[in-house]
Copies of this chain bind each other. A is one copy, B any other.
Amino acid sequence: MTITQRKLNLNVGINTTGYLGHAWPYRTGTRHDINDPAYYRRLTELAHKGLFDAVFFSDHPALMTDPEGRPFHTIDPLILCTALAAQVPDIGFVATMSSTYNSPYNLARRTQSTDIVSGGRLIINIVSSFNPNVAANFGSEPLPQRHERYAKASEFLDVAKKLWASWDPAREGDVPEGRFWDATSAHTIDHDGTYFTVKGPLNVPVGPQGHPVIAQAGASEGGIDLAARHGEIIYCNILSRPAGRAFGEKVRDRARAFGRDPASIRIVPGLVAIVGETRAEALRKHELFSGAGSEDGLIARFIRENGIDPAGFDPDAILDAERFIPDPNRLLAVGMGLGLLDLLTHEKLTARQVVRRSEGHHRLVIGTPDEVADQIIDLWADGTVDGYTLQPPRAPDDIEEFVAKVVPILQDRGVYRTRYEESTIRERYGLPFPEGTTRPADRPALSRLA
């Protein structure tokens, strides 16, 4: 706890038509919105009106060509965030990018550049790609094993951190007469590791946040290791209080083991919120937006997705947690399956109950605006989570609704900001400034040349 009262952190995902693949028929807009920069500007302005910490772009560098689905990742997130940051003040930007298909030097340079041009508003969500559809766009080599992917991602971030700190103009001494600068303010990093050999220095200096805030998702053991080593904002799926507490302890314990202060980690899991005038209306919206159409449809989908024999299945019988241990070698992100297992390990639930507890692998909160606010505050109040990354089923509609109906309640209860205060995301999240670099406020006054 700092002197200022602890506040709820909220990010909001704004990919294409919204988070849920089947909700688009119920949204406002045209299909061309998904590639229209003006649309993303409207969504970001809406998020700014709602005083969100940041808008969040997930990513996948391949076109999803399912004729029954819709493209979910189009305009490059970092490019889009850079343009939006020039148009919309205050709000932060989470840009997802792959450590598998970028070089550390280019990625460190680009992200530090966006952090500088946005005035310290960039969060980077580093993912290690594992999808064959993505791999096919980047050559013919086989995908690395999961373990190696995470080891490589961790070294990737080690290199990026060295690069981000490699040129700090605040280190300049007196610049001799006739010289433009003190070149000793930049030093090589001479990294020679298992996966990368990078000399440096970076040709972009330390930014307003030292370096961009690092977000990390992934709940497999390798993912938790990476989060504990490098993650500052953890995006994950937490479906219940006990599961959330266990996850938070695991990440923080491991961070401590790596010599990190666990207070330098914020946990902001995904959240699907569906509000209605009544709880019944919200339940009906859930049935529609999920594509299942009805409660029976939700249960049928649950049976299908979990490979359950429908014959004689009782949706009102308590489920056996052990039945839901995900295959660690499956193609989907491991973390996505662990949420359900964690939920059933800690609570005795039926299929009818479970289908209303998560959607799109994230915690689902359904009800009136007051009920939704209650549920959001519930896991935040005791520190199980630091906030949420809202994943609106439909964009713009469910962002509009949340901003108009839920945000004022959160403000009335005193848990959510009523205006933007801090200028950088790092300050807004109360995260420590990276070691080895100089805060902008502590940098020497600029000397005038000529």
Contact = CB atoms under 8 A, between A and B. Distances in A.
A116 B29 CA distance: 19
Contact of A30 (B74, B78, B184, B446): B446
B137 A200 contact: yes
Contact of A105 (B24, B61, B67, B105): B61
A76 B31 contact: no
A330 to B, nearest CB: 22
A82 B60 CA distance: 21
A181 interface: yes
Interface of A: 17, 24-32, 35, 37, 60-71, 73-76, 78-80, 82-87, 101-103, 105-106, 109-110, 113-114, 116-118, 133, 136-140, 167, 169, 175, 178-184, 186, 192, 196-205, 446-450
Given A79-B78, A86-B87, A169 B106 contact: no
A63 B201 contact: yes
Given A64-B203, A70-B180, 18 more contacts: A17-B180, A31-B181, A61-B106, A61-B203, A62-B203, A63-B186, A65-B186, A67-B182, A67-B183, A71-B203, A74-B205, A79-B113, A83-B83, A83-B86, A101-B103, A101-B105, A101-B106, A139-B196
* 3 smallest beta-carbon distances between A and B, as pairs: A86-B86, A136-B199, A63-B203
A29 B450 contact: yes
B65 A109 contact: no
Counted per complex, copies of this chain come to: 2
A118 B76 CA distance: 13
Contact of A75 (B101, B133, B204, B450): B204
A142 to B, nearest CB: 12
B105 A197 contact: no
A196 B35 CA distance: 27
A403 B73 CA distance: 42
A396 to B, nearest CB: 12
A181 B30 contact: no
Contacts of A114: 79, 83
11 contacts: A24-B180, A24-B449, A26-B450, A30-B446, A30-B447, A70-B181, A71-B203, A78-B79, A83-B114, A101-B105, A105-B138
Contacts of A175: 31
